[in-house]
Chain A
Amino acid sequence: MPQPDPMIIAGEPFSSRLVMGTGGAPGLDVLERALIASGTQMTTVALRRLDPDAPGSVLDVIERAGSRVLPNTAGCFTAAEAVLTAKLARDAFETDWVKLEVIGDEDTLLPEVTELVDAAEQLVADGFVVLPYTTDDPVVARRLEGVGCAAVMPLGSPIGSGSGIRNPYNLAIIREQVSVPVILDAGIGTASDAALAMELGCDGVLLATAVTRAHDPALMATAMRHAVEAGRLAHLAGRIPRRLYARASTGFEGMPTLSPDPTGPEATRTYDDRPDL
């Protein structure tokens, strides 16, 4: 078994690297089974779309699933609005952690990055642990780290699009260029997308729709848990280089009995000196 390998954000360890959202769930029962199946320890909810004091709400479900609540500023279009929403969330949920979202327009739901950096700066100064949802732009990711964000959360593709990771190269660059955790946020469609994010070196994956709108949300949540774990292990294990031509997994010198002449040239020829492509 592998050693414990927690994701550490702002000094706090999370043994699950899967962060869940709740949007799109067809019912609370279904959501609860999915959250439990996902094994998540952090679930994000929109303050805008929730009354924290409402009885029998999604908050009870998250609590029963053993997850902490990460409030987010979904639905905000300006820095001022996001900062105010984050402060309301801090009072309502009694946490200074916030998933910061500032959206540019309703058709793409892409981040409005100039407002995002502005809001992040204000919230960090106010003592928040800020996890910003951002584009897959390495320069913006560096700026967000620079203003003191506890992690960066670049998108794979637009929210709810299920289109996977459209620019894996940018994610790899972000991973190289920032030292805070990188959590892929948005665009996951199926388990292989989550595994790819982890293989690229992301520290975690945040997803909602891929699970909540699946035909069987709990089953997809299980798939996502395994995918994130598998992708993480593959990343740690170190993948082999890609090659254009085949490379026998066992050298021919290791199979003397299969060779008609064990001393012949086929038995001793090795391809191990061929450089990786």
Chain B
Amino acid sequence: MKVVVAGGGVIGLSVAWQAARHGHEVVLADPDPGRGTSWAGAGMLAPVAEAYFGEEAITAFGMAASHRWESWADELRADAGSDPGYTRKGTLVIARDHDELAALVPLHEMQLAQQLRAERVSAREARRIEPALAPAICGGLWLADDHQVDNRLYVRALIDACGRAGVSFVHERAATCAPTHVTLDGGIDMAADAVVVATGTWQPVIEAGGEQIDLYLRPVKGQIIRVRSTNRAVFPTRTVRSGPIYVVPRDHGELAIGATAEERGFDTTVTAGAARELLTKSWELLPGLAEAELVEVMAGLRPGTPDNAPMIGRLPGGPILAMGHFRHGILFSPATAAAVVAMIDGGEVPEVVAPFTPERFAGATTARRQAKART
């Protein structure tokens, strides 16, 4: 079958790679594949740390994806001929003061109630695991099942694997996505047996059942800093999270420090306040940061949905949607790709993504149109 994938972030690339592996003829349309939100992110694969009250379906999907990641990374390494930078080292969640420690208690109970592996650690134990941590920390949680991938190596490997599997790249944005054709910004029309929309926060015109659909997606801005040090003793060796911030070390000597969550529309400016907040809070965790080289500050836009869960599936008479992955795109990518390819192959929606049907927002779509008309 001929498959057109609109959008070349981790979701679009994963779908394209897998669809090509399944013998389909795949075209991927993106002006600059892998350089959007996927490039900005930190690459945490952290369904346990991200688990939250009322989001059990998201956690379950994340755990399923997490279990798939090791073999996924192996297959990708083989297909791409490069290392996607997947490392299994667990994650520490740190309380910087007693208020934060108290706030971890109900989260820990919830994690245990969902049969997730999470273990209370004292400050001393945490610092034995990561000696770079500040002596003033108050303890935390050890999450043995939360890992990480170097998102930029991952994106490069996906692009290479797609190329080797025969995916053709069209460096243009999809303007309209219908069930059996995609119109590019430049006006070129591509027919397809299946169309997959994976455009992140940005929405093409989506045609479903003869109507133009407006998906309920909003950009949630995240600012993230990258620092580098040749003195490895000042950085942790695995992901450390604390309240709203996280620090994620890379094998090549960088440390990603993120992230803000801002409802600012399509705004990707980096601000002094965000940089200060991220640096101050990470400094409290890692007092050796002062000497690190400041490499980059950038902002990405997470594609948010009203319930924080993705939209995977079809609206009646529409293309396949793989949208709204919010904070979880990199983690979910193997599971979303498997579900989407199953839909391409058989037309049926796999059970595992049933909770994420785009049809659950049928009412909200109208409301958003009205809101748009107002502004």
Contacts and interface: CB of A to CB of B under 8 A. Distances in A.
> Interface majority SS on B: helix, strand, loop or mixed?
loop
A60 B217 CA distance: 12
A53 B263 CA distance: 10
Contact of B218 (A56, A64, A215): A56
A50 B218 CA distance: 12
B306 interface: yes
Interface residues of B, number: 25
A49 interface: yes
27 contacts: A26-B54, A27-B55, A27-B304, A27-B306, A27-B307, A28-B306, A28-B307, A29-B307, A29-B308, A30-B54, A50-B263, A51-B267, A53-B375, A54-B219, A54-B263, A54-B265, A55-B265, A55-B368, A55-B371, A55-B375, A56-B218, A56-B306, A59-B371, A60-B371, A64-B367, A215-B106, A216-B54
A53 B218 CA distance: 11
Interface in B352-375: 367-368, 371-372, 375
Interface in A15-63: 26-30, 32, 49-51, 53-60, 63
Given A26-B54, A27-B308, 18 more contacts: A26-B308, A27-B307, A29-B306, A29-B307, A29-B308, A30-B54, A30-B307, A32-B306, A49-B262, A50-B264, A51-B265, A53-B375, A56-B218, A56-B306, A57-B218, A59-B371, A63-B371, A216-B54
B263 A57 contact: yes
A32 B368 CA distance: 14
B306 A26 contact: no
Contacts of A29: 306-308
Given A26-B52, A30-B54, A56 B264 contact: no
A49 B54 CA distance: 25
Most buried by B among A30, A55, A63: A55
A55 B263 contact: no
Contact of B264 (A27, A30, A54, A63): A54
Contacts of B264: 49-51, 54
Contacts of B266: 54
Contact of A26 (B55, B110, B217, B263): B55
Interface residues of A, number: 21
Nearest to A45: B263
Contacts of B216: 56
B263 A49 contact: yes
Nearest to A26: B52
Interface string A51-79: 10111111110011000000000000000
A60 B52 contact: no
Contacts of B306: 27-29, 32, 56
B218 to A, nearest CB: 4
Nearest to A53: B375
A36 B375 CA distance: 23
Contacts of B55: 26-27
A138 B231 CA distance: 55
Contacts of B375: 53, 55
A57 B262 CA distance: 11
